[in-house]
Amino acid sequence: MSAALLQYLFSGLTSGAIYALAGLGFAIIYNASHVINFAQGEFIMIGGMASATMVAAGVPMPLAIVLALLIAMAVGVILEKFAIEPARNADVVTIIIITIGASIFLRGAAQIIWDKEFHSLPAFSGENPIAVLGATLMPQSLWVVGVAGVVIVALWWFFNRTMFGKAMLATSHNRLAAQLVGVGVKKVLLASFALSALLGAVGGVVVTPITFTNYEAGIMLGLKGFSAAVLGGLGNGTGAIVGGLIVGIVEALASGYLSSAYKDAIAFIIILFVLFFMPNGLFGKRGTDRV
């Protein structure tokens, strides 16, 4: 394998793992509520901005990270409680507009609470590149990949081995039945927003040393995360991870071998083709239509 190809793959892995983490948040909320939360990118931004500004203000990094995660979770809970829950039975498009409204609101709030400048966090394990067969990778990229891996294992455990996780899954399959057997649907929805906000913020924290962050950083991450989640099949955690990695690697290979100007377009064309042949994404369940 040539060093150039390996470098393209590393580049794709770095971006792809970032997209995958962003995509996971979409998957969780979708699983519990069949809602696509277009404010997911803003959770990532909040994680990044809150931790970066606190570290800059002198708060020790571990404490800053924990606080940032808590802030993001609180925002997630508030968003669900006051914006999603009251509109639970509304149309899909209506809820899309609500979450888009929420994303605009959160961006507006972020530029007032913090500022419009770019912020960064120090890399967790230094800035010395790791050389592999003539290609290089930053340690922080491994952090992103590692965190994505840990998150997916933790989610599997949560949904398959804990009572509450199972209840969340049950709700996603059949809300009414779940309610009948005593699962608190409201509580499940609330938990799914808290969880995906937490995940988004975790992503924001590990990604910020690579991409930097500002009040608008959530736009791009949200868009790519949504693409990753849809490509992988909505509601499927593994699908979101695979989808994210595919988008990242396709972009890198397209820049390397075809055209860097059209790399984003090439990634979207591939997503479109996948959807033409697999209308529920790579790992999505086949939907059945109710008459």
169-208: which residues touch another protein (CB under 8 A)? 207
Q: Please name every residue paired with 137 in a beta bridge, in sequence order, or none if there are none.
A: 130
Give first-to-last CA distance, the chain, whole Å: 53
Establish if 214 lies at the interface with another protein (CB under 8 A): yes
Nearer to another protein, 127 or 157 (CB): 127
Nearer to another protein, 63 or 117 (CB): 117
Phi, psi of 130 (to 5 degrees): -95, 125
Neighbours of 227 (CB within 10 A): 22
Nearer to another protein, 190 or 234 (CB): 234
Establish if 133 lies at the interface with another protein (CB under 8 A): no
Out of 70, 77, 142, 264, name the contact with another protein by CB under 8 A: 264
Nearer to another protein, 135 or 195 (CB): 135
Establish if 283 lies at the interface with another protein (CB under 8 A): no
Cα separation, 258 vs 278, in Å, equals 25
Nearer to another protein, 9 or 167 (CB): 9
Establish if 132 lies at the interface with another protein (CB under 8 A): no
Out of 60, 163, 176, 276, name the contact with another protein by CB under 8 A: 276
Can you read off the two tokens belonging to residue 223? Answer: 């868009």
Q: Which residues contact 227 (CB under 8 A, 6 or more apart)?
A: 19, 23, 243, 247, 267, 268, 271
Binding residues among 236-255 for another protein as defined by CB under 8 A? 251-253, 255
Establish if 57 lies at the interface with another protein (CB under 8 A): no
Q: How far is the CB of 39 from another protein (least distance, A)?
A: 9
Q: With contacts defined by CB under 8 A, name the span among 60-68, 70-78, 83-91, 174-182 that binds another protein.
A: 83-91
Q: Which residues contact 17 (CB under 8 A, 6 or more apart)?
A: 141, 144, 145, 148, 244, 245, 248
Cα 239 → chain centroid: 12
Establish if 106 lies at the interface with another protein (CB under 8 A): yes
Report the SS3 class of residue 137: strand
Polymer length in residues for the chain: 291
Out of 31, 227, 232, 247, name the contact with another protein by CB under 8 A: 227
